[in-house]
Amino acid sequence: MAKDLKEIVKQISEKNFPVNWPGHLIDNEWREIKKGAPIKASFNPNNNQKLIEVCGDKESVVLAIESAVKERKKISSIPVDQRLALLKRFRQVLADYRDCAESILRLEAGKPKWEAQSDLESALEYMEWVSENGELVIKNLITPTHFGVGKGSYELLPIGVTAAYLPFSTPVTSFALYFSASVLAGCPLILNSSSHSLLFSMLVAGITRELDLPKGLLNIIFGNFNTFKHLISDRRVVAMLYTGSREHCDAIRLESKSHLGRQLILQSGGKNSVIVHSSADLEHAVKCVMYGALKSAGQRCTSTSRVFVYRSMLSEFKERIVAAVRSVKVGRTDVDHQNENDYPFMGPLYSEKSVEKFLRFQTMANRESETLTWGKVIESEVHGNFVTPGVHMLKKFDNKTAYQGNVLFSPDIAVYDYDVLDNAIDCINTTDAAFGVSFIGDPEIITSRRDLFLAPNLFVNTPTVEMDAAVPLAGRLQSGHHRFHGPGIVLYLCYPQVLSSNPGNEALIKSWPWPRN
């Protein structure tokens, strides 16, 4: 059974699947579950081969929480510079095993080679930046408490045990955000893997043991959202970091109502738009739409799902987008090629269930649109979850229909025309699930109208989907409640405290005449 990092990497590199699962990682030790049937497995979406199978029980979750609670004060007492040094060491080991991490992303997340490399590099760059600038982050976050006339020492103190859920679509970048924030804040982190990121979680666990991190700093529970529910129900967990479905976010909010003071940093799928202005370069516009709609096969919170095109440019845009979609190479992400041009641009959807959902929405779209390209299943001998992208020209904007109003989380593009920019903005603002809007055209035009947009992130001449580790802000309302993202997550894992010391006030009290009878 692979328990050491090198053994884990060897199993994955040699593709001896399913790999042996050593158990949950608690206090840097594997806790093997010997009883009970497996609760979940991770499958390669390229061919539905089983990659790893895990078991879980409530007892393991409780032990992870107890470990985090016990070690909480020790972890928070570690000086910031030493915690940042730990983060830098972790980042370096992950970089040393980047080939294995890339292979996992291509196998387990179905990411094409270019995207796996991009995600990994941006995550490593982010962890490097935080490890070098963490003290500056803390200083900037505490700055607002200095406003006013109060004197004293101001600090951000860690709130305590934090639980995070690792999503399938962005496992490496989400881990970089969550782990960096918890280390910087001084909070013990319990990482719960989704059933589609088990292999990556195993690599992270191997690195944790290799580095012999402080006990309780990072405990890892393998399973799925049902496992995560045990963490949600325990009031000792005072912060929840989650990226996933809206239904799960609602469940977390509902369960957490009785846990006074719990911080929720939740993100669910986004309904994001691109505006192609009359001043836009159409070739560039199509590239931005394609990148935003097809990265991760449209399975990101920031994926592009709507495009508003200036009416006089619509005919040419339709020709260009259809040609672009038909030229997209969709294929297996888990095999290597000698020629770089043979690698696909887009890989499979993450599950058979997601394919079924995608096809249902293609039928719905056809009822209310002119279908430019119909999203279909790509039949293959390996029985992977491959589809072609769908593009639909909508006759009328209606955010209340099942197709137009829902977050599809798939490679699908709804196209609308407009002649008045403000009308297009009004349509975009109807969604309560926007992460961002991309404006393709003259930057001065969107700058003069930025106050009309409700989306927190506005991008000029770039795609809606993140090209770095994270967008600056979480999504609108249901997609994140406009919270800070990236290093800003630290703000929610701490509470500000002031130790007042004002000699003037002290002298005033001493000179105050004590009431006499």
Q: pLDDT tens digits for the chain (517 residues)?
A: 568 999 999 999 999 899 999 999 999 999 988 665 567 899 999 999 999 999 878 899 999 999 999 999 999 999 999 999 999 999 999 999 999 999 999 999 999 999 999 999 999 999 999 999 999 999 999 988 887 766 788 899 999 999 999 999 999 999 999 999 999 999 999 999 999 999 999 999 999 999 999 999 999 999 999 999 999 999 999 999 999 898 999 999 999 999 988 999 999 989 999 999 999 999 999 999 999 999 999 999 999 999 999 999 999 999 999 999 999 999 999 999 999 999 999 999 999 999 999 999 999 999 999 999 999 999 887 889 999 999 999 989 999 999 999 999 999 999 999 999 999 999 999 999 999 999 999 999 999 999 999 999 999 999 999 888 888 899 988 888 888 999 999 999 999 998 888 888 888 888 888 776 5
| Cα gap 299→408, rounded to integer Å | 8
β partners of residue 273: 306, 437
Instruction: Decide if 440 contacts 280 (C-beta within 8 A).
Output: yes
Nearest Cα to 200, choosing from 229, 169, 230, 228? 169
| Cα gap 469→176, rounded to integer Å | 8
Judged on CB neighbours under 10 Å (0-12, 13-18, 19+), 221 is: buried
46 DSSP assignment? T
Handedness of CA 266, 269, 270, 271 (dihedral sign): negative
Judged on CB neighbours under 10 Å (0-12, 13-18, 19+), 66 is: middle
| Cα gap 385→46, rounded to integer Å | 6
Helix axes 5-13, 198-211, angle to 10 degrees: 150
**pLDDT in the model for residue 507:** 87
Nearest Cα to 357, choosing from 340, 381, 377, 330? 377
Token pair, residue 174, equals: 């989400």
Handedness of CA 203, 207, 212, 214 (dihedral sign): negative
**pLDDT in the model for residue 505:** 81
Instruction: Decide if 431 contacts 401 (C-beta within 8 A).
Output: no
476-493: b or e for each residue (b if 16 or more CB lie within 10 Å)?
bebbbeebbbbbbbbbbb
Secondary structure (DSSP) of 207-248: HHHHHTPPTTSEEEE-S-HHHHHHHHH-TT--EEEEEE-HHH
| Cα gap 234→385, rounded to integer Å | 37
Nearest Cα to 211, choosing from 68, 83, 89? 89
Judged on CB neighbours under 10 Å (0-12, 13-18, 19+), 445 is: middle
Q: Does domain 5-268+484-498 have CATH number 3.20.20.100?
A: no
Nearest Cα to 272, choosing from 477, 474, 433, 479? 433
138 DSSP assignment? H
| Domain range summary for the chain, segments of one domain joined by + | 5-268+484-498, 272-460
Q: Do domains 5-268+484-498 and 272-460 have the same CATH topology?
A: no
| Cα gap 218→358, rounded to integer Å | 36
| Superfamily designation of domain 272-460 | Aldehyde Dehydrogenase; Chain A, domain 2 (3.40.309.10)
Nearest Cα to 82, choosing from 154, 218, 215, 186? 186
